[in-house]
Chain A
């Protein structure tokens, strides 16, 4: 039953996309051939349907009957208007024997891989990103009947244009229905490349290029998981295709489809936004008129703008999780973004010259491989001899440029159709060689062969028993440790409670909200406090005192003047305390605190906790400051700044304001002492998590600090609920959060 539901959910969603696209395409006056209609109409329909689902989600009406009603309306409309039907088959010219043999060979290869892909997509979904955030957000939105403001998982702030199509599929057929929808995009991409080859009079090149894309191991695993890269590639190629159709007959109504799809590129994946640039640039160049460009831009904005507005409303950043320096917000720290994006640019590869071999043969570091055949990619340059080849150059190059921002192999998928077509066009005149290339690609991409030379992320088998649920879903998924972690959370954490983890788990298989330490400002704050509980270098051990002339002050400001040695280095201030005559000034409610950067975190430097600290969350640099306005003139003779042990390069000066409210440096003496923390940092750290509503933790045995939680569970104020599958679930012990309670 689950197998049928998955298939039905996907089939219904795909049918609705095609139907809606067919209705729109008919009204645009586009004359598509039989082989073009499915791939091009499907993607246009997907774009428009995604927007309709966005609207339903924004209104909070995402009930299953509403979603099914939408899909039914799309299919019904196409049936009623007759737009569902494919155009009549055209008489094909006679093929010679060699071409016919190659066609059959290609057909057999395509069929074999289709079986492999279908069963993998149909099997229960457990891909890393698919079962965590792509479907995690779908499941969460469906529970909430619409969008929710999520500030604790920045992965939810990416545009979710493809995930919107997973919503109805998931509502009907759960997780693998979404993966099957993605598989439909993979089929559509291959069919579009095939059809394009025919349109430009190069059917063999089109077929070979379609297979070069289709058989690629990274395309296979990604396109059969609930990811979005292959869908993005299909949308990117469809933009190119529609622009070429427009260029053939200059029917400006076709620009509506191209514009909607260019905007949908952004909605599907930020990096695909370059297709808006491509489409606008090409139409402007060809027409030199504002009207068609305006139409294109307007249609693009219809698709892209809702996602920017959503992020702006929810997170104060229209391009979250990026550009946090330009759009300051407390939800994702600038340094976290910076370190994360820096990591994405290298994946830890020390020598980027190894990248060609890495993404074609090894694939273990960049999480997947294109296949060894793409070592022959330079052949694509030969295609520049023909106009058909040169046309591919600009969109291919534009999409490829974005790859430098994330060198994961799957980020090459959108440029793959252009590259494959160019390679195939270059060899089109030598048909046997082209056929040989495809056969080599097929053999080297088949799982049993693939596993002989790489352990990269790829398909391993045809899991027909799991797909048909002959092997029960629970049993199939249960063999995956990460799935068991999700079930442990579901079992031990009550509904509505937050659970904190130091690394991810498949959110899509738990209904509890999971806070991963690095995916949000709040998460970072909790993670920072917890790390202080066990990591000595992070603890407050340095006391820097400014001895001031005994006088009255209203405003005081500590300004950082040091320069970082490492990009990861921050300015960390645990507490700032003011004294007079040896006694600390009580922190009155009238005080006003400010900091730069991260103004939102300034209270952590004035909360009297050893387990919290204000952090700059930007690389240490001169000009950072923390200021306190006492609300009135008060006697102060010492300002004490408490710093972490890992504070190497921070240097500080003290300032006050003059009569004109300008900040001026104070001439002060300084003294530095090292004093170990006096209280239980472990319990103070747990208290901070507890204050922020987090009473449950999932700690994996190989997480940093895991041994300390296990060894000193009671000292942390925690109770171990379960230890299994290499992970522990802890609960905050409420009694331990009472400071009067001494842990026995």
Chain B
């Protein structure tokens, strides 16, 4: 029976060319890690709370650090969305944040008022290796100390941290 069925083989007629696929531009960015991302915690290195607040942000400690793969062929920019909480600011007063890429100091900025902030600055190409892990950190000079003993000191409110394209516009 197998022999008979073998004789009825089902080879196709020649094909016409198929639909031509579009070209997908390589993504110009590596990754901007949103604190609400489902896999965010897997990128944390230190000083970022495991608790996600209001589904958008997390408290930090002294030097919140994450690890990402750079991945991009383009020269990316360090990018951070964060906020200085009014409550902590009352105690600490103006604070200075230092931004690091692979432990290289990228910049240092003083914030004299509470509220949401955004910092963005291109990263020198020689600090990154394509498709290698990169660590990104932001260090605050003064921590808020809780009034009750044993409470955890807090840094600032972190919303997003990562790398963005230096040239965000489509090519």
Residues of A whose CB lies within 8 Å of any CB of B are 305, 308, 312, 316, 318-319, 323, 326-329, 587-594, 599-600, 602-604, 606-609, 612, 629, 678-680, 682-684, 687-688, 710-715, 720-723, 728, 739, 742-744
Per the 8 Å Cβ criterion, residues 3-33 of B in contact with A are: 5-6, 9-12, 14-31
B21 near A684 with CB under 8 A, answer yes
A744 near B168 with CB under 8 A, answer yes
User: Quick check: is B141 within 8 A (CB to CB) of the other chain?
Assistant: no
Q: How far is the CA of A678 from the CA of B24 in the complex (A)?
A: 9
Which residues of the partner chain A approach B19 to less than 8 Å between Cβ atoms? 607
A679 near B26 with CB under 8 A, answer yes
Selected interface stretch from B35-43, B50-58, B144-152: B35-43
Count chain A CB atoms within 10 A of each CB in B15, B20, B28, B37 and give the residue with the most.
B15
The distance from the CB of A149 to the nearest CB of chain B, in whole angstroms, is 14
A742 near B25 with CB under 8 A, answer yes
A591 near B16 with CB under 8 A, answer yes
User: Quick check: is B69 within 8 A (CB to CB) of the other chain?
Assistant: yes
B24 near A680 with CB under 8 A, answer yes
The distance from the CB of A147 to the nearest CB of chain B, in whole angstroms, is 19
Query: Given A680-B27, A711-B31, A744-B29, are A326 and B14 neighbors across the interface (CB < 8 Å)?
Result: no
A318 near B1 with CB under 8 A, answer yes
Which residues of the partner chain A approach B39 to less than 8 Å between Cβ atoms? 710, 713, 720, 723, 728
Query: Given A603-B15, A629-B14, A679-B24, are A318 and B170 neighbors across the interface (CB < 8 Å)?
Result: no
- Chain B contributes a number of interface residues (CB within 8 A of A) equal to 36
The distance from the CB of B65 to the nearest CB of chain A, in whole angstroms, is 16
A592 near B10 with CB under 8 A, answer no
User: Quick check: is B122 within 8 A (CB to CB) of the other chain?
Assistant: no
The distance from the CB of B149 to the nearest CB of chain A, in whole angstroms, is 37
Which residues of the partner chain A approach B25 to less than 8 Å between Cβ atoms? 679-680, 739, 742
Q: How far is the CA of A711 from the CA of B25 in the complex (A)?
A: 18
Q: How far is the CA of A721 from the CA of B39 in the complex (A)?
A: 10
Q: How far is the CA of A588 from the CA of B171 in the complex (A)?
A: 29
A-B contact pairs, 12 of them (CB 8 A): A308-B5, A319-B2, A327-B5, A589-B17, A592-B16, A593-B17, A604-B18, A680-B25, A711-B71, A715-B71, A723-B38, A739-B22
The distance from the CB of A654 to the nearest CB of chain B, in whole angstroms, is 19
A593 near B14 with CB under 8 A, answer yes
The distance from the CB of A687 to the nearest CB of chain B, in whole angstroms, is 7
Q: How far is the CA of A683 from the CA of B6 in the complex (A)?
A: 40
B5 near A739 with CB under 8 A, answer no
Q: How far is the CA of A724 from the CA of B118 in the complex (A)?
A: 31
Q: How far is the CA of A742 from the CA of B167 in the complex (A)?
A: 12
A328 near B24 with CB under 8 A, answer no
Proximity bits, B147-171, A CB within 8 Å = 1, else 0: 0000000000000000000001011
> Which of B5, B12, B20, B171 makes the CB contact (< 8 A) with A587?
B20
Interface of A, helix, strand, loop or mixed by DSSP: loop
> Which of A329, A589, A594, A680 makes the CB contact (< 8 A) with B14?
A594
Q: How far is the CA of A221 from the CA of B21 in the complex (A)?
A: 50
Query: Given A329-B10, A744-B29, A744-B168, are A592 and B2 neighbors across the interface (CB < 8 Å)?
Result: no
The distance from the CB of B12 to the nearest CB of chain A, in whole angstroms, is 6
A712 near B5 with CB under 8 A, answer no
A739 near B16 with CB under 8 A, answer no
Shortest 6 CB-CB distances between A and B: which pairs? A739-B22, A592-B14, A609-B21, A587-B17, A603-B18, A683-B24
B21 near A607 with CB under 8 A, answer yes
User: Quick check: is B80 within 8 A (CB to CB) of the other chain?
Assistant: no
Q: How far is the CA of A66 from the CA of B12 in the complex (A)?
A: 40
Which residues of the partner chain A approach B27 to less than 8 Å between Cβ atoms? 680, 682-683, 712, 714-715, 742-743
Count chain B CB atoms within 10 A of each CB in A588, A602, A722 and give the residue with the most.
A602
B17 near A316 with CB under 8 A, answer no
Which residues of the partner chain A approach B18 to less than 8 Å between Cβ atoms? 603-604, 606-607
A326 near B16 with CB under 8 A, answer no
Query: Given A327-B5, A710-B42, A723-B39, are A599 and B12 neighbors across the interface (CB < 8 Å)?
Result: yes
Q: How far is the CA of A136 from the CA of B1 in the complex (A)?
A: 30
Which residues of the partner chain A approach B17 to less than 8 Å between Cβ atoms? 587-589, 591, 593, 603, 606-607
User: Quick check: is B68 within 8 A (CB to CB) of the other chain?
Assistant: yes
A680 near B11 with CB under 8 A, answer no
Q: How far is the CA of A603 from the CA of B30 in the complex (A)?
A: 33
Q: How far is the CA of A608 from the CA of B22 in the complex (A)?
A: 8
For A713, give the chain B residue with the smallest CB separation. B39
Which residues of the partner chain B approach A316 to less than 8 Å between Cβ atoms? 9-10
B68 near A711 with CB under 8 A, answer yes
For B165, give the chain A residue with the smallest CB separation. A744
B24 near A327 with CB under 8 A, answer no
> Which of A305, A593, A682, A744 makes the CB contact (< 8 A) with B1?
A305
Which residues of the partner chain A approach B12 to less than 8 Å between Cβ atoms? 599-600
The distance from the CB of B165 to the nearest CB of chain A, in whole angstroms, is 8
Which residues of the partner chain B approach A593 to less than 8 Å between Cβ atoms? 14-17
The distance from the CB of A134 to the nearest CB of chain B, in whole angstroms, is 25
Q: How far is the CA of A393 from the CA of B20 in the complex (A)?
A: 62
Q: How far is the CA of A721 from the CA of B38 in the complex (A)?
A: 7
Query: Given A316-B10, A602-B15, are A308 and B28 neighbors across the interface (CB < 8 Å)?
Result: no
For B21, give the chain A residue with the smallest CB separation. A609
Which residues of the partner chain B approach A604 to less than 8 Å between Cβ atoms? 18
Q: How far is the CA of A696 from the CA of B82 in the complex (A)?
A: 33
Which residues of the partner chain A approach B16 to less than 8 Å between Cβ atoms? 589-593
Count chain A CB atoms within 10 A of each CB in B5, B17, B20 and give the residue with the most.
B17
Q: How far is the CA of A609 from the CA of B18 in the complex (A)?
A: 11
Q: How far is the CA of A169 from the CA of B66 in the complex (A)?
A: 53
Q: How far is the CA of A739 from the CA of B38 in the complex (A)?
A: 26
B1 near A328 with CB under 8 A, answer no
The distance from the CB of B171 to the nearest CB of chain A, in whole angstroms, is 7
Which residues of the partner chain B approach A679 to less than 8 Å between Cβ atoms? 23-26
In the complex, besides A308-B1, A679-B25, A720-B38, 19 extra interface pairs with C-beta distance below 8 angstroms are A587-B20, A592-B16, A593-B17, A594-B14, A594-B15, A603-B17, A607-B21, A608-B21, A608-B23, A678-B23, A678-B26, A679-B23, A679-B26, A680-B25, A688-B21, A712-B69, A715-B31, A742-B171, A744-B29
Proximity bits, B87-103, A CB within 8 Å = 1, else 0: 00000000000000000
Q: How far is the CA of A329 from the CA of B29 in the complex (A)?
A: 42
Which residues of the partner chain A approach B14 to less than 8 Å between Cβ atoms? 592-594, 629
Q: How far is the CA of A606 from the CA of B12 in the complex (A)?
A: 17
B69 near A711 with CB under 8 A, answer yes
Q: How far is the CA of A431 from the CA of B5 in the complex (A)?
A: 54
Which residues of the partner chain A approach B2 to less than 8 Å between Cβ atoms? 308, 318-319, 323, 326
A318 near B5 with CB under 8 A, answer yes
The distance from the CB of A321 to the nearest CB of chain B, in whole angstroms, is 14
For A589, give the chain B residue with the smallest CB separation. B16
B20 near A684 with CB under 8 A, answer no
